[in-house]
Structure 1
């Protein structure tokens, strides 16, 4: 397995002052590397939540490469922004982003899901540097994020909290209780991002429990709400810039609803029927990497 070059910052600050097209190119390259890492990790196990990692790569690259304040060498830096992965099974994508950020060594990704690895198949804060919470049963992340954002305010911290959710989590009542709590406490330091890939374990999201019109729902809960193509880096950057402009110690919480495609960037996997938990044949992994690279290089040269 080969890995693309990773650019790891010694200490990351927000890069929104750079020219917009430069930012788009930088994040697009990071998203490509995150996808590449996810494929390499998936090959270790021969299966897994690879489709979600590919679909969410642009979201993760945008947050870690452009928005999040952190120190790669000090994951517990007190002034850091917090990124909470509510969807613990998306850990494969998060690990790839942590490697891209320089928090986890790229070489360590090969241990994914193995005995004694710091990178278990579901996110565990006790194991992995940069993993703020443990993920398991869905619907708890936003509740924790609300408490964390409120606690940071009481401490006088300017740090922001970013919470990654899935559209399947919108089935959970606890998510909406937390949404109400965030508005009640005017947590302007909280930004939620929802991966709307229209798929969950039991089937298509709209057949399990229809949540649309989801934009109007979040707006009615008092959140500053944006809906974008979650695989369009330019649209994501603009949305996060808008959310950052809204950020305040006291103010409206923000949510960015991101429509994504499972398996994005790898046509072989984009069209796979059973895509929630993918089983990929041994001979297909290299095909996936080749398709990913061809697509990325084709866009870069267009």
Structure 2
């Protein structure tokens, strides 16, 4: 399997990430508030997973041979929903119902409500354990599909994450990849100030995992190459540490506290203008690809 993106494929995934970011901002603006920071830092991750890595079928969300994705940081639901809608798992109009009465798109991901969501999450740390269990079940059932999980760096304060890490290594679950959204912030402030995590790559390695760091977690080419390399060569559970920027692409979130924010009209317009500028640049690059 090719691990290096062509120029045209790179631009395609960057455009997909831009549209995921746009639709996520629209969802949260329609609602009026939400977990904007941790959603924005995952737009490129969602684009690469749903645009080039995950083996899924939008017309058959429960296809037994699909790859599984467990978003343990369940409050990032809106960015997951944007990616799923854009891939055709459900109508785009559903995005306007985010976290409203009767919605299929609650604030945190819910496998009982949303087509394409593989695990209900929200209580931090538990999704990592669930992903480990799914990976073990797939092995016992002799399935060839792969399990991906996404956790926040602040979430790695949870002891349950490390219990799951120990178990996954002890069972050599080489069908499991954990992506850690290393955006350096959690609810109450910087991870350095709240509870310093140190070198996450070394920590996971000491627990028996293969570990790699993607220095720019918003570089779709680097993300794709890392995920493809892991898929081809995985000999143990693997942790990818993605250095990201919390609030990336939403200027108001990059200026101050950004875990959960009111989405004002002015901030929304500023973000839309920034995305339009990025889109114009992509159009120029597409003409050169």
- 1:17 offset after TM fit, Å? 7.3
Match of 2:218?
A: 231
Match of 2:18?
A: 32
In structure 1, stretches of 5+ residues that fail to align are: 1-14
Runs (4+) off by over 6 Å: none
Q: 145, 150, 159: which is aligned to 2:136?
A: 150
Alpha-carbon spacing, 1:202–1:282, altered in 2? closer, same or farther (3 Å): same
Deviations 1:47-67 (A, max 9, x none): 111222221100111111111
Match of 1:291?
A: 274
Q: 231, 246, 250: which is aligned to 1:244?
A: 231
Compare relative contact order (CA 8 Å, sep 6+) and give the higher one, 1 or 2. Answer: 2
**TM-score by structure 2 length?**
0.94
Taking only aligned residues, the RMSD between alpha carbons, in angstroms, comes to 1.6
Are the aligned partners of 2:217 and 2:243 in contact in 1 as well (CA < 8 Å)? Answer: yes
- Range 122-131 or range 275-284, more displaced: 275-284
Alpha-carbon spacing, 1:44–1:214, altered in 2? closer, same or farther (3 Å): same
In structure 2, stretches of 5+ residues that fail to align are: none
Alpha-carbon spacing, 1:288–1:19, altered in 2? closer, same or farther (3 Å): closer
**TM-score by structure 1 length?**
0.90
Deviations 1:33-89 (A, max 9, x none): 100100110111111112222211001111111110011011100100000111110
Alpha-carbon spacing, 1:242–1:127, altered in 2? closer, same or farther (3 Å): same
Aligned length: 284
Separation in structure 1 between the aligned mates of residue 239 and residue 8 of structure 2, nearest angstrom: 25
Q: 146, 153, 174: which is aligned to 1:188?
A: 174
Are the aligned partners of 1:188 and 1:246 in contact in 2 as well (CA < 8 Å)? Answer: no
Separation in structure 2 between the aligned mates of residue 282 and residue 164 of structure 1, nearest angstrom: 30
Match of 1:277?
A: 260
